[in-house]
Each structure stands twice: as structure tokens, then as C-alpha cells.
Structure 1
Amino acid sequence: MLIRPYRIGVDVGGTFTDLLVVDASGEIHAYKSPSVPSNPAQGVIAAMELAASQLGISVHALLSGTSQFVHGSTVATNTLLEKKGAKTGLLTTEGFRDSLEIRRGFRDDVWDHRKPYPDVLVPRYLRLYVSERMAHDGTVIKPLDLSSVDSAIQIFKNEQVESVAVSLLHAYRNPAHEKAVGDYVRRSMPGTWVTESAAVAPIIGEYERTSTVVVNGYIAPRVTPYLTELDRRLSELGLPRGLLMVQSNGGAISVPEVANLPVRLILSGPAAGVGALRFFGHDTKSKDLMAIEVGGTSCDVTLVKNGAVSMTDQINVDGFHLTIPAVEIHTVGAGGGTIGHVDSAGMMQAGPQGAGARPGPACYGFGGEYPTVTDANLVLGRLKPGSYAGGAISLNMDKATDAVRRHLSEPLGIDVEEAAIGLIKLVEQNIQHAIEKVSVERGYNPRLFTLVAAGGAGALHGPSAARSVGCSSLYVPRLAGVFCAFGMCNTDVRHDYSLTWLRELNDKDGEHQQALDRAFDELQSQAEGFLHREGFSADNSTFIRGYEMRYVGQQWNVSVDCQSTNLNDVRRSFETTHERLYGYFQEEGPVLIAGIRLAGVGVQPPLTVVAPAYSDAKATPTEFRRVWVDHLTGFAVIPVYDGRLLLPGQSLSGPAIIDESTTTLIVGSHDELNVTAANNYLIKIGHAESNSTGVRSNFQAAE
């Protein structure tokens, strides 16, 4: 029986909509329902109906007893990726209409000069100018002439523009002209969405600010009505408090607060994993974690150091640059739905194409013809044929085998099992490189971290990934398959503020120190107002300070986390961070504070979860199955355990398979698994050998 109040987390993915209910006693109920890509809100309501039916209550009874409903959605991301946003116009300072298309001139692959940049979201005939000019210090060089906006407005009306983005030069320092233009367009074009860059990304960097405000304006008319309608629908069905959305920064925010800033929802789903990592960190007894969430189409990798997740304010989504506060997530195309194929050179490749929700992997029987990682795992015995996810899908061995044979084994002239093994190895290599991207390339030794395997497919590839990068332990939550939905139930409310600073780190008569204190006080005042509107008092509010810094003459900023405003403390934090990233720091080098930032966090009550009683009984397998374990063991007949029967305190040795309700876990040879006090899995990785990437040798001196 559920005990009020409840917390509900709903994560809309490409294949499934995950819903998780945690009641006041700590009981957890997890559900998976097929997503409805054409109407995600319908998928959310369907998941609610499934949960209510399984719990034996009405949807109204479930929602009316809910104190916190947190939603992570891919609507913003998909609107951008699928180019289904609003027809958008852009107003810029005269002479700068082409900055959006010129970009910064950089390429992801410096050797590939032929690959075109993605098309800009605003074509040139809709990028129009305003007669005005601000100086870099915010003083007016050329007064604003609002009559110069009239011709642009007429063109926008003729072209049936739905959204207008305004990005004027140096508006981050003085937004007066930008705000006046925005208000003028609103009066002249009622019903049109208008967004000003200083309200979305008040930072130096003309291209970055313009790109961010354009994306916000492009997706807003599609995303905000969806959120508003879903919020209204849930309220009508009984939800007493408003819907909370997960932002890219890993924190939650109400729909009214984020309605004008939907660009901050671009990483809405994956960022919710922060809440889960914060909860599971206590169970792992480690403050240093790396998480791989392997879902249907991708693998998201996140790093937590000393209990704090890595953050960034610069992300790239499908070639579009965004300056928004975000959890630093590195994503690669390595999921259960990743398609294997043979290229024109006769080499096997994994991805980047994915099977998606429909038709999905061949073994789903929804019409998919091409072999995926899920099909390969089924062929190799790692998955078993039959029903999964409460009957939502049924895995068909014959269809999986046929897909691997026709598209991999026959073109390569190898047998089906060998082809399936090749696909698994390719995907696991991609996962390994993704882990190294957030650890080795950031100056962290992966051997000192616990790897957390999440997502529906994470536990199948976690042991290999941990072994390849040298991690000594792997942690698999029971709820790995609904990892982000669980994280939503443990998510704090958060909003980030930033201010361009551009002053050297020195103090003349205390002037800089006083100015810095005043600036942080101003940001904190804004954050306090936000938290008050969200229902938080001083007792459950906290504020996190940070800096963007660089040596004078250095091109790129370094993000520095430092709660102090004492200039000596700030410099020491910068030097420590710079040394970790680049291997050195300049003891007397002049340092510039390029910007300051502050996050206002409304701390939710801690989530408690009930665990079964301790048991010292020997774990008993339910069956034995022929399985390809890994490249060290090959095929073996190994025990298979029902995860529902494993209790805290029990342990077992690999190789073994554990079937869970939302995932399948493989334990490698020489690995030792223990069920933790919180009823999750902690695996001691055996034989964490050196690998071809040289991770071990790179950090030999640290041992």
C-alpha cells in the first residue's frame, strides 16, 4: 500500500517512457511504457495510467498524493535535431547580420575541410539589422533608432515569422537597446515569440550569445506550449503542485520559470542522472564516480569528483553552439539500438545510425531489419528470448540471428557468433574512449574512480568498460534501467546566474574585492527571489559560486569552482585547476576574471529508500546458460540468477548473469559481486589489465 506523499519522476526516452514512484516509506515502484514520439505528453499520461493500474488506484489518487512531480523530456532536443522549430527572424546590430553564419571558423575535425557546417536556423534574408551601437563598456556610441526596426518587422510579417531573436552588440554589458527593440517588436507583432540575448545568455562572445538566443527562439514556440499543456493536464488530473522540469544543469525548475528559457532544457533527460549519482554515492562509499548510461541509442558519460559533478557552460548540439549552464556530459552513439554494418571498405562499423523506438532492433519484431547491439547480445546468450519490460517487448532469437547473418556475417565471411562478438567489441571500445574523454583528457586518473553502470544496457557493458580503463570497482544500481527517472525523484531545484566581469585579479585599495562582493550580492539577490517564488526559504536554500578565469593573453577560459570571494583564495583555486588541466601554472602570471557565476539551489528533503533485510544465505542460480562472457573468457556455460532473489549481504563470483526487471547484468570472470546494504550491486573488477590506450602508463607516476 502506498503511503503519501509520493515523488514521481518521468523520463521520456526514444524507446520507453520511464516512470518511477517513491512513497513516504521509501518503497519504489518502477514502470516502463512505450514512448509516443509524435506526442510525448500522451506517452507521459499513458505511463501514469499504467502505474496507477499496477498500483490498483486511480490516476487522480496517484497524482493528488504527489508532492513532487519531475519530468525530463527530449522535446527541446528533438525539436532542434529534427529541425521542426519555428520560423525565426534575427535582429542584429548594423553590420553584424552574418556573424551567426561566419561562426568561429573552427572545425571538429581539422583535417576534414569538405564537410559543410550545418545550415543556420535563420536564413540571411531573415537576418536583419537595427541602427544602434554600444561600446564594450556599455556606453552608447550610436543611439538606437527604433524606426530602423520597422522595415524588418514588415519583412517578418510578410514571411510569417513566428519567433524573433534579438542579439545586439555588447548587450551583455548594457541591455537597454536590446530590451527596447524587443518591447517594440512585441507591440508591433502581437502573438510573436520575442527573445533577447541578454535575457538568455548574458555573456561576452557575440557568436555564442547569438547562437544561443536563436536556438531558444527557434524551439520556444514548440516546447513551451507542450510544457504548459502538460502542466495544465496534470493539474486537472489531480496534481496539487506544478510540474517541475529537469534542466541541463541537473536541477529542476517550474514550468512558468523556464517558459522563456526552453534552451536550458536541451539536456533535460540525461542531466537528471546527477540526482541519482548523488544518492548512490553514499552506497558506493566514494565521492569520485564516473557514470555510463547506455540506453537505446547512445551512451552518456558523466564524472563526479569530490561529490561535485563536472559542469560546463559551453555545449554543442548537432553543430549548434549553446552557452548555457549544463552538466558536462559526453555522448557517443553506443546503445542497445546502435546498428552494425559493413562499410564500402569491407570493415565492420558500429553506428552512428540507430534503430530508434520504431522499428527498433530486429529482435523486437517491429519491422527492424538491421542488426543492433541488442540483437548481438541476444545471439551471444547475454540476453534471453522472451518478454521484457513488463511485456512491452518480446525478444525473438530467430530475427536477431537472421539480421546478424545477412548484414554482418555473410558480407564479412565469418560465422554469426563471431560477427556478433565483433559488434560488441566495437561498441565497448567506443564506450571506453568516451570514459577517457571525461577523465584522462581532463587530468583525472580513471583508476581512482568507481564506475557506475546505468541505463538499460549499461550493466551488460560495464564490466568490460571498467576493466579497459583500469577501474577497480563497478557499481550497478538495481534501478539502472530507470536511472534518470530515479534521479528526478532526488533532484533539487536550481537556477544559474552569470555576469561578465573582465577585470584582472588584483586589488588596489580593496576596490576590486568590494566590487566582486557587490556583484555576487546582486546575483544572490536574484537567486533568492527565484527560490522564494519556487517556495523555498533561507533554511533550505544554498548558493554555489564559481568563476571563469584565464591568464592575461590566454585564449580560453578555465571554469573554477570556489565558494570564497577572497582574491587570494580565488587565485589558488585557479592555479590548482589550471595545473590539473594543463600540467603547470604561472606563479606570478597576471590573471583575469572573465566572468562570475552563481547557482541558487532549493534543497529538497532527502530521499529515503527502504532495502530488504540482510541475508548471509548462499545465492542460488535459477538456470545455466551458454554465454559469451568477454574477450578474456569467451563462451562458457554460466549460472543465471534472478535479481529479485538476491538480498543485501549476499555475494557471488563471476562469470554469471543476473536478470533484473529493468536491466541485465553480466559479471566477468574473476569478478566478485556483493549486494550492498542499499540493495544494489558492487562488483570488484578482477584482472584490470593494461590496455592499448595507455591509461595505466599515463598515470603510473600517480600510484
Structure 2
Amino acid sequence: MAAVLRPPWRIGVDVGGTFTDLVVIDAAGAIHIAKSPTTPADPTEGVLAAVALAARQLDLPVTGLLRDCALFIHGSTIATNTVLGGKGAKVGLIATQGFRDTLEIRRGLRADSWDHRPPWPDVIVPRKRRLAVDERVDRRGMVTRPLDPESLSRALRTLKGEGAEAVVICLLNSFLNDSHERACHELIAREWPDVWISRSSQVAPIMGEYERVSTTTIDACVAPRVVPYLRALDERLRGLGLLRRLALVQSNGGIVSVEQVAARPVTLVLSGPAAGVGAIRSLSRAAGSSDLICIEIGGTSCDVTMMQAGEIAMTDQLDVAGYHVNIPSVEIHTIGTGGGTIAGVDRGGMLWVGPHGAGARPGPACYGLGGEEPTVTDAQLVLGRLKSGSYAGGLILLDERRAAEAIERRVARPLGIDNTAAAAGMIRLMEQKVRHAVERVSIERGYDPARFTLVAGGGAGAMHAAAVARALGCRGVYVPRLAGVFCAFGMCNSDVRHDYVQSWLGDLDTTDAQRFAAAFAALDAKGRAMLEAEGFGPNRVALHRLLDLKYTGQQWTIPVAITLPFDPRAIRAAFEESYSRLYGHHQPDGNIEIINLRLAASGLLPAVELMAEAAAGGAPAPSEIRNVYVDEHHGRRPVRVYAGADLRPGQSVAGPAIVEEATTTVVVGAGDVLSVDPYRNYAIALAEARP
């Protein structure tokens, strides 16, 4: 019998590489999930297929499911995939005379400063489409040479002849005075009304010529591909009965409408993974902790996000396929490690795992779709933690024989060991990489992971979380039963958010308090006006103010949250605390510069209240006993396997054990204890760390 939903409800849809995940949360907090195969050629069809599947499962017409939807939120990697796949628009660049090569010169920065061999990615805009105009604004924002319209017209004629689909306008010092950029925009719109225009003073009004032009170029690259897709999806959904506009998740974790994101589609580059913020905040309430580190492990990657004292770590420095993007974003550290990560043995006889993956097609060897390389999923199957059969509602079938053959051929035989040892080695090496990824966002930023609870998201996260948390010394593990649809669930818990930035360029100690207050008042007014137009009253608006600060002579800034009125002593103390945590020292009485003023204006949506259940008595009964490899100390042994649907709040399970949920599988280590909370999520108390 289909579940009966209580309207209105929210729908979140996350388009992943393999599956399109859909979550429906109704007014009573009841949750329904649906998974359908992603259609890379046309993501719209994948979204609509997931909606149709959910409607069938709920015994509702599609029009009924959409008509009573109060909020339909979509997250997608389409912007990122456009860049990764080199399928972006043909872009032309308008720059100040003498500065058209900034995009190619870059800053010379590399992830590893000692490794100069890897080539830079291709420049998105070749030199023949990078053209200069005659104008100049100095470092104080004063016009020293007026814009020459004829030089712009000549450039446009060249770009038209080159077949450009989008034009970037990035002029020197326009973050201080954008009058010339606005004039260029108006002239291009008149002379070439069909071309997409991205203006740096609108997309990224920041100091740093390279960061500004790179960000705006990515915006122009993805816009002609992403915006038409979103508008078409919006119209399709409205034609099927959706009464409200489609909402999109931005890289900052907040949501906006299609028309709002159309002004800056570059803000969608982390649209899918950033939706996990909403899930983390919801789980923080359920878990009773404001210090969480989330590992979301899917088929191809592991995304690591940290919440400290209730605040999600943010950044404005992104790297997308080697291209720099400077936008407010959730700080997500991603590594190429997931269920589909391939393993092998190199010429020196060393085992390696990743970063390459098998993808959705052909996928792991156990899928039986033509894949021959052993993957992490194959290793879990050989170890007995997964079993042969159907998963994800029958969308995939696992075959242990195929998995064993692949590991024997590519790992066990070359190493001269048996399949169990080979599979266990693959898992240990993969988990070591996840551990290092967690250390990257915690220890390297001055935070001890022992203070945090590790949250396991993604379809594969719960299989590795206990081992990783034990190695890190974390105080426990929390596994949401919706781990396999983590981001889609998070979308239903996201607020509306708009970010604003204004360059300041002044010393902290000599800043005029009245001028400072007036600048933030102007930003506040913009944020409030935008949210008011979207229907948010004063009591549903939250303003979060920050400053980008640095010591004189240094290049990189540190964001520091502030409150008004302006208090330079308190700001200095907060900056020095952050600086000391990051670098182990600070400069007493050092000169601090304010580089940017930042405002995050959020429209607060009612929090989704999940259904809590009363505790049940009695010990749970396992669904089967399976021969499973536990760890190097316990080897293979009979292990109790439980069906997650049969476990009730208040019940507990002693490890070693396995819990099979609809969207994930939980591995409970020897000596660990898993407890079911009132929301039917799982809290794992870890045994003492083993050497």
C-alpha cells in the first residue's frame, strides 16, 4: 500500500553520475525516496523520470505530486561537467589594452609547488578571441583614459567573425569603478543582442585581476549551456503541474530561483555537493552535536565537509578542472575515491587504488556490464560486506563471481596473495586516503578531529566510516538512514541565500567607523530588498557579515565574522585567533588590512521537522548470518546481518555486524555498538582505537 502524504511537501532532486535521487518530505516530516538512472545526454529526462517514478510509488498522478509541492529544489553538476568535458560555449574576452593575456599568464600557482611538470589546462579563450579596448581606470578607481567606443566596436566585429557565443568583459580595476564595464555591456547589448554577456564587476567584483577574469570566463563558458537547460526544465515542470518556480542549489549551499541564478550561473559549479549543507544542519539537530565532519562517498568521489560550532566551513577559492573560480562556496575537499575506484598493481609490485574510476558504464566488474578492472565495490563484495543480488530497487545487480575474478587477475595474482588479503588491502588503502582527506579539512586548519563526530553520507560512506573514525580518534559515527540520497535530502533543508561583496582596501585601525557602517548598511539594504521581494518578512531574514583580512605584505586573506557596531579591537582578536589556529603564531600589533566586506543574506525557510518514533523494546533479530571479513585482527567469521527496516528506535546492535538499508550498507566494527535514534538514524559508539 502506497504511503499517504500530508501536503504541502518539498521535493529535492539531485542528478548524480549514476543515479538521479529524489526525496519527498511532507508536512508531517514523513520521507519518501526514489532513484532512477541518470540520463547524461539529457538530464531533464532523468529528473522527469524520477518524478514519474515517485508519483507511481505514491499512487499519485504526476500533476498531483507537483501541484501540492511547496518547494521543488534541484541540484546538478551540469555546470561542472560542462567545464570538465570541454563542452562550454565559444567565449570572447574584452580586456584593457595591455592586459588581454592575464588569463593565460595566470599566477603560476600549483597545488604542489615542487611539481612543475603537469601542463596547465587549455586556455578557455585563445589569444585570437582575447581583444583589447582603449581605456584605463587607475588603482584608486579614477578614470585616466576614457573608454574608446570605436575600439570596442572593432573588437566585436572580430569576435562575431570568430563565431563567439558569449563575451566576457573584464577591465582593469573595475572592482573599484565599473563605469567602463557597464558602458561596454550597454554597447554590446545594442550591437549584438543575441550574445551572452558576462561582466566581471557583476560576477566577481574582487581585487585580483586573474581571479576576476578566470571566474567571469567560467561564467560565460557555462551560461549558454546551463541557463537554457534550467529554463526548459522549469517550464516542463510547470507544464506538468508545478505551481512555483524551480529553485537551484548554489555553491554556497543556499537556494535561488532560475532567473536569479541566470545572472551568475558560475555559482552552480558545486550545486550538487553543496546541498549536503542542509543535510548536515538537519543531522546536527538530530545528533545533538554542532561539531561534525561529513564524508560523502559515492561511486566516483569522496566529498569532505566540516561543521565547527554550528558553522559550515566556507571558501572563495575553487579549482574546477585547473581553472580558478572565486565565488562564495561551501568548503568541500574532494578526492577521487568511491565505490567505483579502480585498483591495480604497478610495475614495482605496489598496490594502488585510484584516482581513476570505472564510472556508471561499464562500472565495477561485479555489475556485469563489461567492466574488467577491480574496484572498491568488488572488494567489499569479496569480503562479504556486500552480497550478490539487486540493489537500489533493482537498478543494479552485483555478482560476486565477477568481482572475485577481477581481483584475482589484477591484484591477488600479481601480489602473490589470496583474494581476501587483496580485497582487504584495497579497502585499507582506500580508507587511508579518506583519512588524509579528513585531516586536510581538520588538522591542517587547526582542528582536532577527536572533537568531532564523523557523519557517513553517500551510498558507500557507512561502509568505511567506523574504520576511518577510529583511525582519526573521532568520538563517534552518525549514519543517516538516507545516506544514499544525502544531497537530495539536504536540498529540502536549505535556505534561500544571496552573497554580496564590496572591496574596501584600508587599514583596520584607521578605518572610519561611520563610513564602515554606511558601507555595510548599503549591503544590508541590498540583501533585505532581495529577500523582501521573495516574500521574506523581517523575522525570517538573517544577515551574516564578514571581513576578508590580512597582514600587510601578505597575499591571502582570512575571513572573520563580525558584528556591528564596528569594534576594531574585537575584530583584531578574532583575526589573531584564526591566524594562530592556522599557522601556529600571529604578529602582535601587526598592521591588519581590510580587503573586502562580505554579506550573506539568508531567507529562512521553516525547518523540516522529521518524524520521531517512540523507543521499542527487545533485541533485534538478524535477517541472516554471513561469513564476513571483519578486520586484520579478527579475519573472516560469521557476522550478524540486520535489515534496517526491521530495526526500531531504542534498539542496539553489537559489532561486528552489518545493517542493510535501502540506500546504504552500514559496517559495524568489532567492539563497536550501533544504536538506533528516534529518527531511525544510526549512532555508532566506537571501541578503543587499535594500533
Distance between the aligned counterparts of 2:117 and 2:411, measured in 1?
30
The aligned counterpart of 1:33 is: 36
Structure 2 residue ranges without an equivalent (≥5): none
Distance between the aligned counterparts of 1:179 and 1:376, measured in 2?
57
Distance between the aligned counterparts of 1:498 and 1:598, measured in 2?
6
Q: CA deviation at 1:426?
A: 1.4
Asked if the contact 1:14–1:35 (Cα under 8 Å) also holds between the matched residues in 2, the reply is yes
Residue 237 of structure 2: SS of its match in structure 1? helix
Distance between the aligned counterparts of 1:343 and 1:540, measured in 2?
57
Distance between the aligned counterparts of 2:61 and 2:633, measured in 1?
51
Q: CA deviation at 1:341?
A: 2.1
Distance 1:533 1:116, change over 3 A: same
Q: CA deviation at 1:59?
A: 0.7
Distance between the aligned counterparts of 1:150 and 1:349, measured in 2?
55
The aligned counterpart of 1:150 is: 153
The aligned counterpart of 2:323 is: 320
Distance between the aligned counterparts of 1:154 and 1:502, measured in 2?
37
Letter in 1 for 2:19: F
Q: CA deviation at 1:149?
A: 1.2
Q: CA deviation at 1:528?
A: 1.4
Structure 1 residue 301 and structure 2 residue 309: aligned? Answer: no
Matches within 5 A, 1:270-285: 270-285=273-288
Letter in 1 for 2:40: P
Structure 1 residue 559 and structure 2 residue 559: aligned? Answer: yes
The aligned counterpart of 2:484 is: 481
Letter in 1 for 2:549: M
Distance between the aligned counterparts of 1:681 and 1:285, measured in 2?
13
The aligned counterpart of 2:594 is: 593
Q: 1:604-658 deviations in whole A, cap 9, x for unaligned?
A: 0010111332112112111111111233433221100111111111112100000
Distance between the aligned counterparts of 2:631 and 2:159, measured in 1?
59
Structure 1 residue 523 and structure 2 residue 526: aligned? Answer: no
Matches within 5 A, 1:668-683: 668-683=669-684
Number of aligned residues: 687
Distance between the aligned counterparts of 1:257 and 1:2, measured in 2?
31
The aligned counterpart of 1:577 is: 578
The aligned counterpart of 1:350 is: 353
Pairing partner for 1:366 from 366, 369, 386:
369
Q: CA deviation at 1:232?
A: 0.8
Distance between the aligned counterparts of 2:147 and 2:424, measured in 1?
65
Point out the more displaced range, 345-354 or 125-134: 345-354
Letter in 2 for 1:522: A
Letter in 2 for 1:111: W
Structure 1 residue 226 and structure 2 residue 226: aligned? Answer: no
Letter in 1 for 2:641: V
The aligned counterpart of 1:20 is: 23
Q: 1:506-561 deviations in whole A, cap 9, x for unaligned?
A: 24xxx611111111111111111221232212121111001100111222111112
Q: 1:231-267 deviations in whole A, cap 9, x for unaligned?
A: 1111111111111100000001110000121110000
TM-score calculated relative to the size of structure 1: 0.96
Structure 1 residue 610 and structure 2 residue 596: aligned? Answer: no
The aligned counterpart of 2:407 is: 404
Distance between the aligned counterparts of 1:479 and 1:465, measured in 2?
20
Pairing partner for 1:47 from 22, 47, 50:
50
The aligned counterpart of 1:693 is: none
The aligned counterpart of 1:697 is: none
Structure 1 residue 122 and structure 2 residue 93: aligned? Answer: no
Pairing partner for 2:338 from 322, 335, 340:
335
Matches within 5 A, 1:409-424: 409-424=412-427
Letter in 1 for 2:664: T
Structure 1 residue ranges without an equivalent (≥5): 691-703
Q: CA deviation at 1:672?
A: 1.2
Q: CA deviation at 1:689?
A: 4.3
Q: 1:352-402 deviations in whole A, cap 9, x for unaligned?
A: 111112111111222222111111111110101101111111111122112
Pairing partner for 2:110 from 104, 107, 130:
107
Letter in 2 for 1:9: G
- Give the ranges of 4+ consecutive aligned residues of structure 1 lying more than 3 Å apart after TM superposition: none
Q: CA deviation at 1:425?
A: 1.2
Distance between the aligned counterparts of 2:148 and 2:632, measured in 1?
70
The aligned counterpart of 1:695 is: none
The aligned counterpart of 1:543 is: 543
Distance 1:157 1:379, change over 3 A: same
Distance between the aligned counterparts of 1:134 and 1:408, measured in 2?
61
Residue 535 of structure 1: SS of its match in structure 2? coil
Matches within 5 A, 1:203-242: 203-242=206-245
The aligned counterpart of 1:698 is: none
Distance between the aligned counterparts of 1:505 and 1:612, measured in 2?
52
Asked if the contact 1:477–1:681 (Cα under 8 Å) also holds between the matched residues in 2, the reply is yes
Structure 1 residue 504 and structure 2 residue 510: aligned? Answer: no
Point out the more displaced range, 563-572 or 476-485: 563-572
Point out the more displaced range, 570-579 or 16-25: 570-579
Residue 390 of structure 1: SS of its match in structure 2? coil
Asked if the contact 1:629–1:666 (Cα under 8 Å) also holds between the matched residues in 2, the reply is no
The aligned counterpart of 2:196 is: 193
Distance between the aligned counterparts of 2:235 and 2:580, measured in 1?
50
Distance between the aligned counterparts of 2:577 and 2:277, measured in 1?
24
Letter in 2 for 1:592: E
Residue 135 of structure 2: SS of its match in structure 1? strand
Distance between the aligned counterparts of 2:532 and 2:174, measured in 1?
28
Please provide the CA RMSD for this pair.
1.1
Point out the more displaced range, 263-272 or 546-555: 546-555
Distance between the aligned counterparts of 2:637 and 2:457, measured in 1?
25
